[in-house]
Amino acid sequence: MSASAKVSAEEALRRVRTEGWCVIDGVIPPDDLPAVRDGVTAALDGRTELRGVIARDRSFAPYLVDERLVAIVEGVLGPASRIARTDACASGRGHTRPDCAGPDWAGADRAGAGWHADWPFAGGDSYRVAVPYGDLTMAVTTIWPLTGAPDAPGATLIVSGATLIVSGSHRTHDNPAVAPGYAPDMEVASQMRPAVPAGSVLAFDSRLWHRHAPGAGEELRLRLDVQYVPWWLDLTSMIPGLADYETRAEGLGYRPIELRPLDDAAFTALPDAVKPLFDHLRLGQEVIAWHPDPPESS
């Protein structure tokens, strides 16, 4: 753990369980941050977003297994969890939103414009958990700012625990993007704007209501969005070319966030401790031949 860390693994897990979110300080050390920022910027190559950035840049890979992140992921999702998506996003200086929505974004419930929960709880998507949903965490979203002053407020508004409206919005069994009575940009009495300095991580239960904060500033903002999921969550609706993804895209009318497979070179370049998180996305996996049991001898 970083010497500057302000939250322990145990406290981080407790906060996510009870309040739905936690800021994990100093995941990327200050001395390492410029190299990560340069690597992600090079991978973006002038774009505002890049899905599956891990396939092009692995500068941030060692930090994906920070002990406090692991404590949260294994604590709420169980062992053998994996990473579903790694997206790089750039905003500011003319870009109106810092979310990884791509140029085809339209509509209030898309990728962070208004109050919403993340996939698999996203609204307006036939491949989602229907509301009202049960009290089960199916994903952990993490936001990694790579730019910004250490004490700058974050660009994400969230609704947390101790509130007169809800007792933790991740426990409401509902999604404000599709629930009646919630305007996309309405102010909620319990909304918070957490301070997430560059190199730290905002981790939250993917059911947590959140949206892009207005007035986030025009300075360039660079960030990573990484989502962890349990081993049992079906990801076929996020992989282009598979029937589930293509059916989902046709129903939505746009190409939703997708997972990018890793070729052998990209997978081999990952740190050993990180490889199990991406094994399910590795291209060219050998399928072990199944042989029926030989007939019993008489």
pLDDT at 265 over 60: yes
3-state SS of 241-295 is CCHHHHHHHHHHCCCCCCCCCECHHHHHCCCCCCHHHCHHHECCCCCCCCCCCCC
Q: Is residue 289 part of a domain?
A: no
One DSSP character per residue, 7-64 reads S-HHHHHHHHHHTSEEEETTSS-TTTHHHHHHHHHHHHTT-SEEETGGGT--TTGGGG
Contact 81, 116 (CB under 8 A): no
Q: How many domains does the chain have?
A: 1
User: Residue 187's pLDDT band (boundaries 50, 70, 90)?
Assistant: confident
Mean pLDDT of 24-31: 94
Q: Is residue 92 part of a domain?
A: yes
Measured CA to CA in angstroms, residue 127 lies from 119, 181, 223, 231, 242 at distances of 9, 23, 26, 18, 14
The predicted structure's pLDDT at residue 219 = 66
Q: Is residue 14 part of a domain?
A: yes
pLDDT at 237 over 90: no
Q: Report pTM.
A: 0.83
The predicted structure's pLDDT at residue 166 = 34
Mean pLDDT of 278-296: 74
What is the CATH number for 44? 2.60.120.620
Q: Is residue 288 part of a domain?
A: no
Q: Is residue 41 part of a domain?
A: yes
Q: Which amino acid is at 279?
A: D
Domain holding 195, by residue range, is 9-278
Distance CA 228, CA 272 (A): 18
Q: Is residue 294 part of a domain?
A: no
Record the tokens describing residue 233, joined without a space. 């969550």
Q: Is residue 102 part of a domain?
A: yes
